[in-house]
Amino acid sequence: MKQLHKQSSGNSIRRDEEMPMSQNSPYSPKSQKYHRSFPRSINYLLREQRLLFILVGILIGSTFFILQPTLSRIGPQDSNFPKSGVSGRLGTNGMGNWVGGKVGRVPAGIGKRRMRIVVTGGAGFVGSHLVDKLIARGDDVIVIDNFFTGRKENVAHHFGNPRFELIRHDVVEPILLEVDQIYHLACPASPVHYKYNPVKTIKTNVMGTLNMLGLAKRIGARFLLTSTSEVYGDPLEHPQKETYWGHVNPIGVRSCYDEGKRTAETLTMDYHRGADVEVRIARIFNTYGPRMCLDDGRVVSNFVAQAIRKEPMTVYGDGKQTRSFQYVSDLVDGLMALMEGEHIGPFNLGNPGEFTMLELAEVVKETIDPSASIMFKENTADDPHKRKPDISKAKELLNWQPKVSLRDGLPLMVSDFRNRILNQDEGKAH
């Protein structure tokens, strides 16, 4: 049986091999693939709304390329590129201008970008006016202040502005920020305040300056130090040029401020030479204007407050010592010109118009109360006899000079003082 089964199987295999393929067979070889015809391609595009999606994509792409030039012309108030994060790669200098180097393609139409700036002591007299000017220019401003002499009221009008930030902080302690420029103003500047805690004053000048210079080095920011005419001490040169090294008592009651600022200048130049930090140094002479502390011991604020309160104006010594007085707006213009310029300094920033204390008292009397009286007291220790800046360097290199005379600026200060003293008296009455 096995043999018959094998034979029948073999015969059937041979018959399958010999049997020709029938035309009616249900099986057929796979047909050859041909490319789709044009009508079939159209049908493919129309099916499932594929053509609609293609057209929408083209429309979106075209819209982007049409609007791109408009978007790239955004002004400085809408373009914020913090220097510390990108300046090394994009090749910007401290003022936000593009400089040489391979920086890739820059979008067309980008102008001067909005900068991010920190102002230490920004709630103080000078600092708050500087903040006003920077905000008006369109920059982002961070104010650092411990409110020892600064007041929140000086910057309260910026609360709610998204480009303004206020941090309560003492610069004696380090702080980490990302900024393009640092204006370092933090330090008590009047004798009443810096003599109140002389150790704290010199720590602010030394440790505060060290911390801000360290921040500038870390993030590549430009640093401006507001030094003082007190670095000249009781000068033997008149008027004082920036090349004059000064005549300072290193152990006197004012040396916490005088020598503190001299040390701050030393640190600033050492960071510039040793760490290649971009620095600027301003030596500020007597400044007056709105927002000065009412009783800070400085001669202009003393005279004005006393005359408004109908008190005798206090003149120390014989009243023949001289000072030069610049209005605060002139100083702010000078500080910004120095920061934006290419010169390190130091630069004297002051008004070369020179007045004796008695002459100043007469101007105050003319402005406030012709019947005001003068009271003489013994002079304080180490009080300079003469103080007048030579500003020829600032005129030549910064194109800066003061514009507001004492007789023009004093009424503006008087108006501010009168309002504050009136409010202060009303508060005491209640």
> What amino acid positions are annotated as catalytic residues?
257
> What are the residue ranges of helices labelled H in 186-298?
191-194, 198-203, 209-219, 255-275
Q: Is 382 exposed, middle or buried (0-12, 13-18, 19+ CB in 10 A)?
A: middle
* Whole-angstrom distance, CA of residue 413 vs CA of residue 85: 41
- Tell me the torsion sign for CA atoms 245, 325, 213, 191: positive
- Give the residues across from 221 on adjacent strands: none
* Whole-angstrom distance, CA of residue 304 vs CA of residue 365: 9
* Whole-angstrom distance, CA of residue 265 vs CA of residue 379: 29
In this structure, which amino acid lies at residue 330?
D
For 256, phi then psi, to 5°, come to -60, -35
For 125, phi then psi, to 5°, come to -60, -65
- Tell me the torsion sign for CA atoms 92, 93, 95, 99: negative
The angle that helices 299-308 and 357-367 make with each other, rounded to 10 degrees, is 40
* Whole-angstrom distance, CA of residue 209 vs CA of residue 215: 10
Residue indicated by tokens 């982002």? 140
* Whole-angstrom distance, CA of residue 278 vs CA of residue 44: 65
Question: How many Cα atoms are found within 13 Å in the side-chain-facing hemisphere of 112?
Answer: 8
The DSSP output letter for 206 is I
Contact assessment for residue 306 and residue 300, using Cβ atoms and an 8 Å cutoff: no
